[in-house]
Amino acid sequence: MRDIAFVFFLAAALCVTGGMIWGLQMSATHDHAMSGAHAHLNLVGWVTLALFAVYYRLTPQAARGWLPRVHAALAIPGVALMVPGIAIAIAGGAPLLAIVGSFLTFGSMLVFLFTVIRHGFGAAPADARGNRMDALLTPAE
């Protein structure tokens, strides 16, 4: 099975691909009515999910256990519901999907905040024997 960093980065890449296609469609039709939803797809979908992936890759101790899976289970459906929900709301429909997606996205950010506070940033500096755990990330001296 792929690790959590891969899951987040794949979701981010799918979001930016969809965002680019949507942007091209808006440009070709000169109809930018959905630019708010498009912006959320690119910012929350591409940028935020990609940053989560980078964090988990650079902080491997944070990527272990069940909490990163909960994080992904909130973040990815959050974007998947929020973006079409915003589009529906812009078109005059009920904002329910946007609201649900926004709460899932906010919940995922709270999980991420907790994770960053708990694990810091970057690989653990040393194990019990004093060996560098981040030797692959540190240039040779």
* Total structural domains within the chain: 1
Which of the four pLDDT bands, split at 50, 70 and 90, describes residue 34?
very high
Distance between CA atoms of 71 and 102, rounded to whole angstroms? 14
Structural domain including 48 reads: 4-119
In a domain, 141, yes or no: no
Distance between CA atoms of 121 and 55, rounded to whole angstroms? 7
Instruction: Show the tokens assigned to 52.
Output: 């989560």
In a domain, 65, yes or no: yes
In a domain, 25, yes or no: yes
In a domain, 133, yes or no: no
In a domain, 124, yes or no: no
Overall pTM surpassing 0.75 (yes/no): yes
Tens digit of each residue's pLDDT (9 = 90 or more) over 59-114:
999 999 999 999 999 999 999 999 999 999 999 999 999 999 999 999 999 999 99
In a domain, 82, yes or no: yes
In a domain, 60, yes or no: yes
In a domain, 132, yes or no: no
